[in-house]
Amino acid sequence: MENITTATLLVVAFSVLSISTMMIIKTPEMVTGSVFAEEDDKDYNVILLSIDTLRADHLQCYGYGRETAASICELAEDGVLFETCITNSPWTMPAVMSMITGLYPLNHNVIRRPDSEVGSLSHSKKTLAELLKGDDYAPASFVANKLLAKDIGYNRGFDTYIILDDEKAENLTNLALEWLEENRDEKFFLWLHYMDPHWHYGAPYPFSEIFTAIPHCSQLDDRLKHNAERVKSEKCVDSLIARHDNEIVYTDYAIGKMIRYLKDEGLYDNTIIIVTADHGEGFLEHDHLGHGNIYYDEALRIPLIIIHPDYGKGERIEDQVSLIDIMPTVLEFLDIEAENLDGESLVPLMENETVDKRPVISQGHLRRISVRTDEWKFVDKTWENGTHRKELYDLVNDSSEKTNLYDEMVDVSEYFEGIFREHFEMYHHNRTEDDTNSIDMEKFNEMLRSLGYMT
Ligand SMILES: [Zn+2]
Query: Cα(50) to centroid of ligand 1, in Å?
Result: 10
Instruction: Round the average pLDDT of the chain to a whole number and report it.
Output: 87
Across 403-422, average pLDDT? 95
Please, how many CA atoms are within 13 Å of residue 101, restricted to the half-sphere of its CB? 29
Is residue 98's pLDDT more than 70?
Answer: yes
What's the 114 CA to ligand 1 centre distance in angstroms?
20
Cα-to-centroid distance, 108 and ligand 1 (Å): 17
**Model pLDDT, residue 11:** 52
Segment of 26-30, 396-400, 432-436 carrying the highest mean pLDDT: 396-400
- How much is the pTM? 0.89
Residue ranges and CATH numbers for the domains of the chain are 6-358 (3.40.720.10)
pLDDT of residue 200: 87
Interval 242-262 mean pLDDT: 97
pLDDT for 332: 97
d(CA 134, CA 140): 14
Distance 51 CA to ligand 1 centre (A): 8
Strands 360-365 and 368-372: antiparallel
Q: How far is the CA of 300 from the centre of ligand 1 (A)?
A: 11
pLDDT above 90 (res 197): yes
Q: Could you tell me which residues come within 8 angstroms of residue 239 by beta carbon, excluding any fewer than 6 positions away? A: 213, 214, 217, 218
* Cα of 139 from ligand 1 centre, angstroms: 22
- Looking at residue 348, its pLDDT comes to 97
pLDDT tens column, 320-357: 999 999 999 999 999 999 999 999 999 999 999 999 99
Residue 65: HSE in the Cβ half-sphere, 13 Å Cα cutoff:
6
Name the most confidently modeled range: 111-125, 206-220, 313-327. 313-327
31-to-21, 69, 389 alpha-carbon distances in Å: 18, 28, 58
Report which of residues 165 and 68 the model is more confident about.
68
Read off the pLDDT of residues 76-97 as tens digits, 9 standing for 90 and up.
999 999 999 999 999 999 999 9
Cα(first)–Cα(last) distance of the chain, in Å?
A: 36
pLDDT at 168: 97
| pLDDT score for 429 | 62
Strands (E), 119-223: 138-143, 160-163, 188-194
Task: Provide the pLDDT for residue 12.
Answer: 47
Reported confidence tier of residue 28, pLDDT bands at 50, 70, 90: very low
Residues paired with 145 in a beta bridge? none
> How remote is the CA of residue 171 from the centroid of ligand 1, in Å?
19
pLDDT for the residue 438:
61
Q: For residues 159 and 30, give the distance between their C-alpha atoms in angstroms, rounded to a whole number.
A: 24
Cβ–Cβ under 8 Å, residues 350 and 311 = yes
